[in-house]
Structure 1
Amino acid sequence: MVSTASSQMTHINTLANGITLIVTENPVADLVAGRIFLPKAGGRWESLAQAGLFHLMAAVLTKGTENYAAVEIAEQVESIGASLGASTSNDYMAISLKSVTRDFQTILGLAAEILRQPTFPEREVELERKITLQNIRSQLEQPFNVAYKQFRENMYPDHPYGMSILGTDETVKSFTREDLQAIHKKHFRPDNLIISLSGRITLEQAEAMVEQAFGDWQNPEDALEALKIANLKPTGGNWHTTQDSQQAIVILGYLTGTVEDDDFFALKLLSTYLGNGLSSRLFVELREKQGLAYDVSAFFPTRLNQSQFVTYIGTAPKNTAIALQGLHKETQRLVDAPLSEEELQIAKNKLLGQYALGKQTNAELAQIFGWYESIGLGVKFDQDFKTHIERITTTETHAAAQRHFTKPYVSVAGSVEALSLLEDIELS
């Protein structure tokens, strides 16, 4: 049992059939929100030939069960003012649900039927396939997506993180209803389920509801084997794509470690310092002082496998070379000298403030606890996060920068004019 706040209490329990249940008692509003995670599902469980299969699964999952057609499912959800949907990411697949407390058993029961007895109607599969293909093609028209696709594919060769969660035109066209049935049979099982609930509900009430909806669901005899993904070694490199656009997108980033890496918290703070908000270093230096950026930022996603530390800028084509040099200068500044105590404290205050603001609703609480459990950190990580951030020193952030910011990956999408300015650029 983990205490999360004076008015909230979070419990975790494992049920008889292997389902992990997390319950955050938050009686402020007469609502319950839930996230049902499948940690052994999502993009990292796809082969390169299967890229996008779990995304298509999420799109079709709510479109029919053995007892209800798609329109009947929608009518049930809307008739009680609830919400229900499925999504997928690199590291998991999830079902999201929310309703007033008195109707939560109803919406949970419907979610159970969707998880356990989807029918994947051919008509719905074809419709969602067409929508996905349209989204893939639309992304190829957006300069940032083009540059980031190029960046991601070259940083993660022959790795599931190198593929878009949507898949590719080729893979999505190849999927069949039978493919969806096969991954459903393999991955949808009680011992691959984490149910995280938050709201006006007790642990006892939640256990009774989950038992009613999922208690008779048994695991197959075959275990779902752990996925093995080899660690990559940073290589760096430069990749350019011609894109007829009024701005150039420049991405500069570095391959980093996993959520269990010793530098994880230091890199979170460096990302916040460099690219989070209007007071961040990149915004002030490259946009406010030099006028180079339409958009500039940095991000360091929390990933189960090796993550990436990314900086990017959208700039006028004539400024492409200067913008790239600016990004590199600011990351190398962190390698050359440590942050000041004041700079580090400002980054800590900003990161912890935004972290707290991200846990205001029942949906956010259900998401964060279920997510932490699904990637192996556990619900206690919520408390540990603040402690770890507060303990980070300038020496540790400096060491993290020196370890990771050595071999830059550079991806640029822009006009012929923009790319020509990069011919003589060498980053040292």
Structure 2
Amino acid sequence: MHIEAVETTTLANGLRVVSERVPYVQSASIGVWVDVGARHEKPGERGITHFIEHMLFKGTERRSARDIASEIESVGGSLNAFTDKEYTCYYGRALSEHAPLVLDVLADMIRNSTLDPEEFAREKNVVIEEIKRYEDTPDDLVHDLFARAVWQSHPLGRPVIGTARSVGSLTVERVRSFMRDHYVPSRMLVAAAGNITHRSLVRLATRLFGDMPDRSVPAPTRCPLARGKQVRRHRRSEQVHFCLGGPTFAQTDDRRYPLTILDMVLGGNMSSRLFQEVREKRGLAYAIGSYATAFRDCGLFTIYGGTSPTTLQQVLDVTAEELATVRREGLRDDEIARAKTQIRGAMVIGLENMSGRMMRLGKSTLYHGRVIPLDEISACVQRVTAEDILEVAHYTLDPERLSFAAIGPFPRGGASL
């Protein structure tokens, strides 16, 4: 049994504070989460959530961009942020004694960013260069191409980073308006893990965010309609990078537990079926694996691989054969038992990192309204049966529902599934 010292408080303005005290470490990881991501962008706003993440590091009314970095780094800490499809997170890590400084800097960035017009113009160029780099990286680009194949014009099928055209059209006023609508207390939370008490964190959050007015504007979302589709983008390169998979289950759907086991056995690690069959036994690829992603109302199971054009068809044939076998026969008892042990081990080992703990607190609270205890997750995984996995495999690996995306120099005559 794992005892977790997780506490949650909601301030008067709706901002949530969640923490897990770990008294035997000397550091703390603190994050400010905002319940907004690329999914919530309107047609004329593509890339705005990611661009805001960039701009909040460019200076506030009392700190320059250099001050933001140096104040944290001068005490041995670090500061970072990321934008996802459904949320944004600004976070830092430092010695526990400097935790107040970390949260003060984060709050200053979020509440007092100047959005200086000159910095704004420069950063647009920076992000456009980031987009160009992304476009030149097919092993990254293919995942967004695949999402587009599955969900097409739905916001979940668009890249978080936006396009050069959409980012180039952003204005200071549009960014301010977007932040007024979405960066509000009822859609924000402060999460912390490490040697910091919940009481002190609540005091800090109250001082830094307590007077922030809440004017939450509902962020309407629609469930995407997934369609099986094949998309190929020709490009000169040494390898063809591909994704194969289809829609799965939401964050709150208990079928995500058998899916996690299925993913682990199929392509989740070096002992997985695909890794062994494609790479170890046949030497057809360096990279082959799978992963499952879950959102509020849907999910996605993806197999990724990279191989030479001359071996692409072989890799696809071996992959298709393995999927058909699993869909028909399910998994062996020994594979299921091993996967359950691997999942539990990965969860426990992840607790050794304070930033990992903080990420878990924030993500679980955003999606479930609470931090799901590890013992509860472990119990759900242990209850999964072979029949549960077979049912999920039959749904997830249905050839009629699978989509395929690939980038590279395709062999003459193409490649087929």
Q: How is 1:6-25 mapped onto 2 (pairs within 5 angstroms)?
A: 6=3, 8-25=4-21
Structure 1 residues 419 and 47: CA distance shift in structure 2, 3 A: farther
Separation in structure 2 between the aligned mates of residue 104 and residue 172 of structure 1, nearest angstrom? 34
Separation in structure 2 between the aligned mates of residue 256 and residue 49 of structure 1, nearest angstrom? 29
Q: Which stretches of structure 1, 4 residues or more, deviate above 6 A after TM superposition? A: none
RMSD between aligned residues = 1.8
Structure 1 residues 339 and 111: CA distance shift in structure 2, 3 A: same
Q: What's 2:347 paired with?
A: 355
- Structure 2 residue runs of 5 or longer lacking an equivalent are none
Decide whether the 8 Å contact of 1:189 with 1:219 is kept in 2: yes
Indicate which of 169, 180, 186 corresponds to 1:185: 180
Decide whether the 8 Å contact of 2:151 with 2:224 is kept in 1: no
Q: How is 1:270-349 mapped onto 2 (pairs within 5 angstroms)?
A: 270-349=262-341
Decide whether the 8 Å contact of 2:149 with 2:405 is kept in 1: no
Q: What's 1:265 paired with?
A: 257
Q: What's 1:145 paired with?
A: 140
SS state of the match for residue 420, structure 1? coil
Shift in Å at residue 92 of structure 1? Answer: 0.5
Q: What's 2:78 paired with?
A: 83
Q: How is 1:3-402 mapped onto 2 (pairs within 5 angstroms)?
A: 5-6=2-3, 8-39=4-35, 41-220=36-215, 223-232=216-225, 234-376=226-368, 378-402=370-394
Shift in Å at residue 377 of structure 1? Answer: 5.3
Q: How many residues align?
A: 415
Shift in Å at residue 195 of structure 1? Answer: 0.8
Decide whether the 8 Å contact of 1:59 with 1:87 is kept in 2: no
**CA displacement 1:153-192 (0-9 Å, x = unmatched):** 1211221111111111211111111121111111112111
Separation in structure 1 between the aligned mates of residue 168 and residue 191 of structure 2, nearest angstrom? 34
Separation in structure 2 between the aligned mates of residue 412 and residue 218 of structure 1, nearest angstrom? 47
Structure 1 residues 280 and 252: CA distance shift in structure 2, 3 A: same
Q: What's 2:406 paired with?
A: 412
Which segment is superposed worse, 100-109 or 261-270?
100-109
- What letter corresponds to residue 29 of structure 2 in structure 1? A
Shift in Å at residue 123 of structure 1? Answer: 2.4
**CA displacement 1:93-151 (0-9 Å, x = unmatched):** 11102222222222222221211111111222222222221221122222323432321
- What letter corresponds to residue 270 of structure 2 in structure 1? L
SS state of the match for residue 240, structure 1? strand
Structure 1 residues 159 and 57: CA distance shift in structure 2, 3 A: same
Structure 1 residues 319 and 335: CA distance shift in structure 2, 3 A: same
Shift in Å at residue 352 of structure 1? Answer: 1.8
Separation in structure 1 between the aligned mates of residue 43 and residue 340 of structure 2, nearest angstrom? 38
Separation in structure 2 between the aligned mates of residue 102 and residue 149 of structure 1, nearest angstrom? 41
Which segment is superposed worse, 138-147 or 241-250?
138-147
- Structure 1 residue runs of 5 or longer lacking an equivalent are none
Which segment is superposed worse, 54-63 or 99-108?
99-108
- What letter corresponds to residue 244 of structure 1 in structure 2? R
Decide whether the 8 Å contact of 1:252 with 1:327 is kept in 2: no
**CA displacement 1:238-261 (0-9 Å, x = unmatched):** 221111111112321111121122
Shift in Å at residue 226 of structure 1? Answer: 4.2
Which segment is superposed worse, 135-144 or 366-375?
135-144
Decide whether the 8 Å contact of 1:296 with 1:313 is kept in 2: yes
Q: Among the aligned pairs, what percent are the same residue?
A: 24
